[in-house]
């Protein structure tokens, strides 16, 4: 039986990059997937790809920075497939490159509205629905800049730090309701977002710092996002998983207080070693 058979998943910003790869991966694992995006053409394209691969998916247009649209996206998911089990809240933007002292307040507002408020809005309505289901799992897409500065991107850094904080709070508040909330913090991934914000030389320089001499791919992030959905691993909650492509071949897992059981360690090592990565558990 596929990992996500009979599950209903939602992905915001599923029309491109990481969101599309996650949506495809959820569908491959048997989930029915609702994809939202502000770009209808790209969203529909993702649906077409999933259907061609034999999966089940549905598109809803929505602006992830709007509270009303987020409410609508959750309502559409439930009216189409009856429930919501899994969500990857991924829609995001980089914003202009300017030092903090020159950053336009309206640009700040736009980035915060999508990258942080948008994640709050969608979680708020998803939690309501997941409580009705009796549980669920949310993965918010943060960034390595949820932990370290991204000079010239103050709003991006602040928004992603905010997503990490919000994720921790939700995890703490809803653990007893069988709802887990984790964040994945990608390093530099070759997507439209990166290409729109960095020139070729900057991208080459970033790639050169990675031992594998390349940027990460959306599919590699999707693997980790789907891994969170494995129903048996209930230990993971309130955690931020950073994918550091500075240490390219490693996925570093920052574990918090609770100790892993031997079974969980074996399971994790198997999963990651299998994919030729080394797992660090702090």
Q: Closer to ligand NAD by CB, 236 or 245: give it.
A: 245
Would you say 77 or 264 has its CB closer to ligand NAD?
Answer: 77
User: Which CB atom, from 24 or from 37, has the smaller least distance to ligand NAD?
Assistant: 37
Q: Is 251 left (phi over 0), alpha (psi -120 to 50) or beta?
A: beta
Residues 6+ apart with CB under 8 A from 173: none
Phi, psi of 61 (to 5 degrees): -70, 135
How far is Cα 274 from Cα 264, in angstroms, rounded to an integer?
15
Binding span for ligand NAD by CB under 6 A among 14-22, 95-103, 223-231, 269-277: 14-22
Given 141, 170, 210, 251, the residue binding ligand NAD (CB under 6 A): 141
What is the footprint of ligand NAD within residues 29-58 (CB under 6 A)?
A: 37-39, 42
Interface with ligand NAD includes 129 (CB under 6 A)? Answer: no
Task: Please state the closest distance from residue 72 (CB atom) to ligand NAD, in A.
Answer: 12
The answer to whether 24 contacts ligand NAD (rule: CB under 6 A) is: no
Give the Cβ contact number of residue 230 at 10 Å: 15
Strand order in the sheet with 250-253: 56-61, 32-37, 8-12, 86-89, 136-141, 179-186, 240-243, 250-253, 278-281
**Interacting residue with ligand NAD among 31, 57, 58, 64 (CB under 6 A):** 64
The single residue among 10, 188, 227, 242 that binds ligand NAD, judged by CB under 6 A, is: 188
Determine the Cα–Cα distance for residues 130 and 176; give it in Å rounded to an integer: 12
Sign of the torsion angle spanned by Cα atoms 256, 268, 211, 215: negative
Interaction of residue 171 with ligand NAD, rule CB under 6 A: no
Q: How far is the CB of 234 from ligand NAD (least distance, A)?
A: 25
Residues 204-243 that bind ligand NAD (CB under 6 A): none
Nearer to ligand NAD, 175 or 203 (CB): 203
Whole-number Å distance between alpha carbons of 218 and 3: 20
Burial class from Cβ neighbours inside 10 Å (0-12, 13-18, 19+) for residue 270 reads exposed
- Does the protein bind ligand NAD through residue 18 (CB under 6 A)? yes
Say whether 182 sits in a helix, a strand or coil. Answer: strand
Q: Is 11 in the site for ligand NAD (CB under 6 A)?
A: no
Q: What phi and psi values does residue 187 have, to the nearest 5 degrees?
A: -80, -145
- Told to check if 260 binds ligand NAD by CB under 6 A, we report no
156 is catalytic: yes
Q: Which of 156, 188, 236, 242 is catalytic?
A: 156
Place of tokens 């439209």: 192
Q: Do 174 and 127 meet the contact criterion of CB atoms below 8 Å apart? A: yes
Q: What are the residues binding ligand NAD (CB under 6 A)?
A: 13, 15-19, 37-39, 42, 62-65, 90-93, 114, 141, 143, 186, 188-189, 191-194
Catalytically active residues are 156
């Amino acid at each position: 039986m596929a990992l996500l058979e009979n599950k209903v998943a939602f992905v915001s910003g599923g029309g491109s990059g990481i969101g599309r790869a996650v949506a495809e991966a959820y569908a491959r694992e048997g989930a029915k997937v609702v994809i939202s995006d502000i770009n209808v053409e790209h969203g529909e394209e993702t649906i077409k790809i999933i259907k061609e691969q034999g999966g089940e998916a549905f598109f809803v247009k929505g602006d992830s920075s709007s509270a009303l649209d987020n409410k609508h996206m959750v309502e559409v998911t439930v009216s189409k497939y009856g429930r919501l089990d899994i969500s990857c809240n991924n829609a995001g933007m980089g914003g202009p490159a300017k030092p903090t002292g020159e950053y336009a307040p309206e640009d700040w507002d736009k980035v915060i509205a999508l990258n942080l408020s948008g994640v709050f809005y969608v979680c708020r309505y998803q939690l309501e629905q997941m409580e009705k289901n009796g549980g669920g799992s949310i993965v918010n897409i943060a960034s390595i800049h949820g932990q370290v500065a991204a000079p010239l991107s103050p709003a991006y850094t602040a928004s992603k730090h905010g997503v990490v904080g919000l994720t921790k709070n939700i995890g703490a508040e809803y653990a007893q309701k069988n709802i887990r909330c984790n964040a994945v913090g990608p390093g530099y991934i070759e997507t439209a977002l990166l290409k729109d914000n960095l020139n070729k030389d900057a991208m080459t320089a970033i790639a050169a710092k990675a031992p594998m001499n390349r940027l990460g791919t959306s599919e590699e992030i999707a693997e980790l996002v789907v891994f969170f959905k494995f129903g048996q691993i209930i230990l993971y909650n309130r955690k931020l998983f950073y994918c550091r492509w500075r240490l390219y071949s490693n996925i570093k897992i920052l574990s918090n207080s609770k100790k892993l059981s031997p079974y969980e360690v074996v399971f994790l090592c198997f999963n990651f070693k299998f994919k030729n990565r080394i797992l660090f558990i702090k």
